[in-house]
Amino acid sequence: MIISKIFKPKSTPKNQPDGVAENVKRSLLKTISWRIIGTLDTILISWAITGALTLAFSIGFVELVTKMILYFFHERAWNKINWGR
C-alpha cells in the first residue's frame, strides 16, 4: 500500500503527452548552460589552488569539452529510462 503510493507514476503535464521524450535541442541547451556554470567553478577553484590564471583557464577549457560530451550522453541515456516519470 505505502510502496504503491511511493512508486505511483506521476501524472503527465498537460503540455507533454504521455511517453514523449525530451528533444535533443533541449538536452543540448541544458548541457551548454550547465557546463558554463561548471567550468567557471572549475576555473575559480583551479586558480585558487594553483595561483596561476593561465593554468586555471587551461584546466577549465579541457574540463569544458570533456564534461559537456559526457553530460550530453548521460542526459540522453536517462531520457530513455521511464522510471520516475
What pLDDT was estimated at residue 46? 97
CA distance 70 to 61: 14
| Better-predicted residue by pLDDT, 62 or 16 | 62
CB-CB contact of 79 with 27 (8 Å)? yes
- For the stretch 43-69, pLDDT in tens is 999 999 999 999 999 999 999 889 888
Most confident of 15-19, 23-27, 49-53, 63-67: 49-53
What pLDDT was estimated at residue 43? 96
Crossing angle of helices 53-79/24-50, nearest 10°? 150
Q: Which amino acid is at 5?
A: K
What pLDDT was estimated at residue 6? 47
What pLDDT was estimated at residue 8? 52
Sorted by sequence, the CB contacts under 8 Å of residue 55 that are 6+ apart come out as 46
Q: What's the pTM value of the predicted model, to 2 decimals?
A: 0.58
